[in-house]
Amino acid sequence: MYQPQGFRLLPTAVKHLLIVNVLCYLAYYVCASQRIINLNALLGLWTPATGYFRPWQLFTYMFMHGNLTHLFFNMFALWMFGNTMENIWGTKRFLVYYLACGLGAGLLTLLIPGAALTVGASAAVYGLLLAFGLTFPNDYIYLYFLVPIKAKWFVIGYAVIELFEGFFINDGIAHFAHLGGMLVGLLLILWWRRNPFGRNPFNHFRN
């Protein structure tokens, strides 16, 4: 089984994902403030029913954010869970997982009736949260930096909240996209674990 060589606080993929997301937000903010173009409308994910859907949006939507708070919490979670998973999996496998969660959630979002514009890394980040919970189920996560809760209960709790809010709370947040990221992540991890070539079947995805 692949053993990472040391633990990096800011591994390669996480570092570059943070940079790209921040740059995309700055570009969106500058263009919007100067009334040049609305990059979120161009690069965010629209459903086909709106008439604004373009294929590239399935990829670009996960790098766009609605406001600074949205960006900050997604990037904090990306670093918090992503650095651990990248150190364990390696950069290439981590990227395959991250992008698969985002793309898969985007595809599922296209099937949701009434879904509007979707932007943000949240779906991919929720996939990382699920991966962390499956890998370290009994490790503690400190809710609001104060309340310790085991990772497995943290993941289950977030999934239940997202499911409830997706059905009953109309707050403009893409709750089903979050769940889609977790679902794709779960299926991918289960497939990796059941692969007959061993616990780390994608050896060519190593750094």
A 10 A CB-CB count for 167 gives 10
Q: Is residue 2 part of a domain?
A: no
Q: Which residues contact 191 (CB under 8 A, 6 or more apart)?
A: none
Distance CA 183, CA 176 (A): 10
* pLDDT for the residue numbered 206: 42
**pTM for this prediction:** 0.87
Give the pair of three-digit tokens for residue 172. Answer: 């403009």
Q: What is the pLDDT of residues 97-143, one digit of tens each?
A: 999 999 999 999 888 877 779 999 999 999 999 999 999 999 988 87
Distance CA 197, CA 147 (A): 40
Q: Is residue 73 part of a domain?
A: yes
Q: What is the pLDDT of residues 55-64, one digit of tens each?
A: 999 999 999 9
Domain containing residue 107? 12-205
Alpha helices in the chain (DSSP H): 12-33, 39-43, 57-60, 68-89, 91-109, 122-135, 151-168, 175-194
CATH of the domain at 75: 1.20.1540.10
Q: Is residue 6 part of a domain?
A: no
Q: Is residue 66 part of a domain?
A: yes
Residue 205: pLDDT over 50: no
Q: Using alpha carbons, select from 168, 84, 169 the residue that is nearest to residue 130.
A: 84
Distance CA 132, CA 207 (A): 20
Q: Is residue 5 part of a domain?
A: no
54: left (phi over 0), alpha (psi -120 to 50) or beta: beta
Number of domains, the chain: 1
| Location of structure tokens 């960006």 | 71
Distance CA 207, CA 198 (A): 18
